[in-house]
Structure 1
């Protein structure tokens, strides 16, 4: 076996507690449960005065079913793949893991990225450092039965090499609508019918959020800040990010889109002031990485000079409802759309 140091870093696993299912019902016939999130913000009263925690609360899920295998699926790199065993999944990102959880298959997550914020990812037997230098030998050394990548840019070459040596590999690219992603993940697990119902439930939430936004009389200016994304420097979400698209759908004007930044990119202190956001968005995990409120003001000192900073209008959201296109996108869109609709015009 090739030493792991040649390909990827592995972290010892630490079992995490799973999240209990909620018996409430969501649209499309799917059951629902509390959203997966990090432990970054343990309670609303942990936030500074004036800050708010937005949580859509109900993320659609379906009862665990029996996969119909083998499953023939078309990977997003155009390759037809027959999946024989989805029992030990090496997952490329939390967007994929959240769908697996919502399909009742969380225990099948065998390896997850080290920065995972999902319950199934934290409970996986392996966590690994996953980046553009990740090698085929390291992935094979994990002993998984299925690799589910989430990026054509990062995972195309890796998937080709894995298939060459007999490892099933499917890519579900992150740059696509949540319902499409859900259907593709479900198909790869042999749960196409369950995935269709789950996708419909999320689409219903997205449609409801868009309807709320359509009734709005103005578009609040929103900046989503992150502690990562530009070589470790603080960033803002651009047009092609999951949160940038969600902000637009929910009735806001995304500052990163207006500024022309790509994905998550740095924005100068002068740019932050000029953007004049009405709302500052941050996820729970990023709030932890910033080191709390003081860390945010240190990373972006001019934020305090903006309308949002002067009003202390900072909204904290679960990572899986804002930063990822996945099963939590509908819940996040609804929470944000309602909050924006309730905001008095500037």
Structure 2
């Protein structure tokens, strides 16, 4: 579709007529900003959007396997742990990553305990973290776990020693959330459960999905300034910084991390911090956004309304179950967020 009609095409010969039409044509071009520009070339979608996965459950790499046990692995806390039985698995961490990996390895039927955050496929598995996220030793031991998978953010050193003292095999994993750490984490879990070949296959599939998703993200010059906000009602509103996991996700989306100058992974939101960060776009968890009253409620959080993202109501939310899980769904997460941010159609 042509944006402007040439003076010659209209057959106007008078000097005044040509002048008037030329001014009109230039005005039309300026008003449209060059017709045919797509959403990506203007910085992506405007206003709020939800990044959606058609299925939050990762696809298992195969049917339920038979673990090759016993196996001795080095836990992330430095201990040597010998796993002799993987028939009763508890997997607990802040974002439900470990239980997702167990499920994707085909060992979902062996899960007997999970985190508060969990994919739909394992919602019937007991939540051992409880409503406040704390772990109770007696409740854990009552489930008779054969192996306990966790990280040092979730389990305190005291609880670790209590569990090991009670004869529970506790294997710790790295709590850092980065794109580079996704596949090693998958392989480490698989090794601890006696299914190393499954881990390699799942890792290869996940790496391929991540690489393809990142390659498909539209390039922006300059990149969008994105800020990840952690929200739990207006009482807990935090801006993510380096080491939060959100920084790696923003990089995968081709964005500039508006929280890069922070000294901590998460800091309490203040007007000064948000205005200084000046994000063009806000990334949030869906339940977190609901807890503050949606996009309109978010605008009442200090400093939000004074940012470019706040003025444009440019907010992208995604399910709490997957957005920072950094597990087998990571490639699909990047693709869904890219589509919500930039408006690009799926391949």
Do the two structures share a fold, i.e. TM-score over 0.5? yes
Aligned-partner Cα distance in 1 for 2:328–2:233:
22
> 8 Å contact 2:92–2:149 — kept in the other structure?
yes
- State the TM-score, normalized to the length of structure 1: 0.74
Give TM-score scaled by structure 2 length. 0.73
Deviation at 1:75? 1.1
Q: Aligned residue for 2:253?
A: 250
> Matches of residues 281-320 of structure 1 in structure 2 within 5 Å?
281-298=283-300, 300-320=301-321
Which residue of structure 1 aligns with residue 78 of structure 2? 78
Aligned partners of 2:316 and 2:340 also within 8 Å = no
Gaps of 5+ in 2: 1-45
1:211 aligns with 2:215: yes
Computed over aligned residues only, the root mean square deviation of the Cα atoms, in angstroms, reads 3.0
* Other-structure match for 2:113: 111
CA distance in structure 1 between the aligned counterparts of 2:78 and 2:207, rounded to whole angstroms: 25
Q: Does 1:220 align with 2:224?
A: yes
**Corresponding residue number in structure 1 for 2:97:** 95
Pairs aligned (count): 291
Task: Tell me which protein shows more strand as a share of its residues.
Answer: 1
Q: Does 1:263 align with 2:262?
A: no
Q: CA deviation at 1:233?
A: 1.5
Aligned to 2:123: 122
Task: Note the C-alpha offset of 1:160.
Answer: 3.5
Q: Is the 8 A contact 1:83 1:188 kept in 2?
A: yes
Matched, 1:189 2:193: yes
SS in structure 2 of the partner of residue 234 of structure 1: strand
**Contact 1:241–1:264 (8 Å) recurs in 2:** yes
> Separation in 2 of the partners of 1:308 and 1:126?
36
1:227, 1:286 within 8 Å by CA — same for their partners in 2?
yes
Task: Give the distance between the partners of 1:99 and 1:237, measured in 2 at CA.
Answer: 25
Three-state SS of the structure 2 residue aligned to 1:282 is strand
1:236 pairs with 230, 234, 239, which one? 239
What are the residue-to-residue correspondences of 1:51-62 with 2, within 5 Å?
Answer: 51-55=48-52, 57=54, 59-62=58-61
Give 1:134 shift.
Answer: 4.1
- 1:205/1:334 contact within 8 Å kept: no
CA spacing shift, 1:152–1:295, aligned 2, 3 Å: closer
Alpha-carbon distance between aligned partners in 2 of 1:229 and 1:67, rounded to the nearest angstrom: 43
The DSSP-based 3-state class of the residue aligned with 2:197 is: helix
Where 1:61 maps in the other structure, the secondary structure is: coil
Residue aligned with 1:147, SS: strand
Off by >6 Å, runs of 4+ in structure 1: 130-133
Per-residue CA distance 1:6-44 (angstroms, 9 max, x = gap):
xxxxxxxxxxxxxxxxxxxxxxxxxxxxxxxxxxxxxxx
**Higher mean C-alpha displacement, 332-341 vs 70-79:** 332-341
**Residues 149 and 133 of structure 1, relative CA distance in 2, 3 Å threshold:** same
Instruction: Name the CA shift for 1:131/1:51 in 2 (closer, same or farther; >3 Å).
Output: closer
> Greater CA radius of gyration, 1 or 2?
2
Post-superposition Cα deviations, 1:237-291, rounded to whole Å, max 9, x if no partner, equal 2211122211122211122223x14223212122212222111111122223334
User: Could you tell me how far apart the structure 1 residues matched to 2:147 and 2:131 are?
Assistant: 16
CA displacement at 1:63 relative to structure 2: 1.6
CA distances 1:273-326 after superposition (whole Å, capped 9, x unpaired): 22221111111222233343343233x143223211222211111224322222
1:105 Cα deviation from its structure 2 partner:
2.1
Distance of 1:109 and 1:293 partners within structure 2: 37
Judge conservation of contact 1:251–1:340 (CA < 8 Å) in 2.
Answer: no
Q: 1:162 to 1:182 in 2, by over 3 A?
A: same
